[in-house]
Structure 1
């Protein structure tokens, strides 16, 4: 699709600002894509940093000093699971208290106005749904659910949190640094004293957050559904993702292969920059809010 041939934004949208910023042309291009409708949003950790949730690879990312637990580590040893749940129990307060920010709300507004036809989010924080976006596919699952690896029973994280509180009174009083995947870092000796709890249904099963760990594959039906969304979209808007991992990059590649415009709004370079028709290096909350305002969403 030739982005230059897209229609002007609808009547009633705000007029361009008199003093245009250096990337005004790029903003105008993204606006035209959204004005045409049927845009699919692919969001990453960068859209949630303004809600107080750290990311891995952005300007304030911690990937270089924090190594996330892999699926193989988690399933391979009780010590690893104890370490994971000790850290996650500390970090859960940050996740559960986080609220949607301007970026999440702007995406929800654009969806309600018919400009965005769906959202694929790589985030596990549930903030798109909390902002009111109905069609949000959680590619990597959600920290708000917990699954038993033995009997596959699923419970809410709030339920597990209460059980962990009872098994570890006073543990939340520990001061620790927050990490991007919803955990925090206590001292090693404090981790060793943490008590995990088994599945209440089968009695012995290992509990795991219902998220895709590093080294674990996204369920095939979920990937297939995301491909269907890409196929049905007129354009793809990447919001706050470095596209470092293939789980998100593959959708950018599919859209580009189909000749659909790819727009990227992200602070810092991404792995999909060479496939983008337009690239904006802007704070997401302000950029998406302005786009929604200009389109009268």
Structure 2
């Protein structure tokens, strides 16, 4: 039987005594140094790249209602509204660059300390920073899929088709949301032309999981297998409000696997956390990577 890190899991109300969270990452580094750590990241890790989160102090859910799956498939007007706004917002996300937090995760993985990275983000910034084999729980805005024939294609191709079909569309993006959506007046939305699938003429949707849509079962099961094989789970920049990510924290804690959380603000997973840090992600993860690798004689994790 594989050994686990020495920090004990002790869920319950007493964990909330950590509020508003510690600022010392050394206890997290002690666990990560043992290797086989799975990262579960959320929108908070991308805020320093200029992409806002949903639920932070300035989270977009305070002023923005994301498109739901039911609305998208059930209404031509809703699809027009989504694509008009996303057409502008995607360009901003496509230009976003990885930040120190993404780079620290990639470095820890390259050094062998991480056994997997699961992200709830759809921006592709973990991969852009060099992370490998990232499980994109909610998909990626870089791809689109036809709901009728299942054909997938690159978002860049669709973007050019939308540009060609909307040469007189001159709206500009203002506030960008984590799902690539922006705010546009309804009279501007009504001037936008949506293009169909080039294969069957069907409805094209971004290859992401909308609110109200289920994560594919095979993807969920792959995440569970990764969590089951982990020595610890490290949550980065997620409030864990939605079940799609929270279930993995609850599953790990039930199995006695330490759960470590680095996030600005409280999270739904705090009662399950072994240790929680309340710091900006770029700063915290840069320090964490330094702490993990400092003084390592072998240059890699120990697997007891």
Question: Fold-level match, TM-score > 0.5?
Answer: yes
**Once the 2 structures are TM-superposed, how far is the Cα of residue 180 of structure 1 from its aligned partner?**
2.2
SS in 1 for 2:60: coil
5+ long unaligned stretches in structure 2:
9-20, 294-298, 300-304
2:250 corresponds to 1:253 = yes
Seen in structure 2, the aligned counterparts of structure 1 residues 276 and 201 have a Cα distance that, compared at 3 Å, is same
2:166 corresponds to 1:168 = yes
**Once the 2 structures are TM-superposed, how far is the Cα of residue 23 of structure 1 from its aligned partner?**
3.5
Instruction: Give the conservation status (yes or no) of the 8 Å contact 1:240–1:266.
Output: yes
CA–CA distance in 2 between the matches of 1:243 and 1:193?
A: 37
2:140 corresponds to 1:137 = no
2:211 corresponds to 1:208 = no
5+ long unaligned stretches in structure 1:
6-21
CA–CA distance in 1 between the matches of 2:175 and 2:120?
A: 23
Greater RCO (CA < 8 Å, at least 6 residues apart): 2
Match of 2:225 in 1: 228
Instruction: Give the conservation status (yes or no) of the 8 Å contact 2:30–2:292.
Output: no
CA–CA distance in 2 between the matches of 1:69 and 1:177?
A: 16
Match of 2:120 in 1: 122
Seen in structure 2, the aligned counterparts of structure 1 residues 172 and 113 have a Cα distance that, compared at 3 Å, is farther
CA–CA distance in 1 between the matches of 2:212 and 2:230?
A: 29
Seen in structure 2, the aligned counterparts of structure 1 residues 113 and 70 have a Cα distance that, compared at 3 Å, is same
Match of 1:192 in 2: 190
What are the Cα deviations for residues 248-295 of structure 1, in whole angstroms up to 9, with x where unaligned?
000000110010110000001100000000010100011001111222
Instruction: Give the conservation status (yes or no) of the 8 Å contact 1:263–1:277.
Output: yes
TM-score (norm 1): 0.91
2:26 corresponds to 1:23 = no
Match of 1:94 in 2: 92
CA–CA distance in 2 between the matches of 1:124 and 1:68?
A: 14
What are the Cα deviations for residues 121-165 of structure 1, in whole angstroms up to 9, with x where unaligned?
000001111111102100000000000001111110000000001
CA–CA distance in 2 between the matches of 1:171 and 1:50?
A: 30
What are the Cα deviations for residues 171-214 of structure 1, in whole angstroms up to 9, with x where unaligned?
25435322221011111100011000000011x20000000000
Match of 2:6 in 1: 3
Count, aligned residues? 279
TM-score (norm 2): 0.89
CA–CA distance in 2 between the matches of 1:42 and 1:221?
A: 17
CA–CA distance in 2 between the matches of 1:4 and 1:67?
A: 40
CA–CA distance in 2 between the matches of 1:247 and 1:172?
A: 37
Instruction: Give the conservation status (yes or no) of the 8 Å contact 2:233–2:249.
Output: yes
Instruction: Give the conservation status (yes or no) of the 8 Å contact 2:89–2:173.
Output: no
SS in 1 for 2:38: strand
RMSD: 1.5
Instruction: Give the conservation status (yes or no) of the 8 Å contact 2:71–2:78.
Output: yes
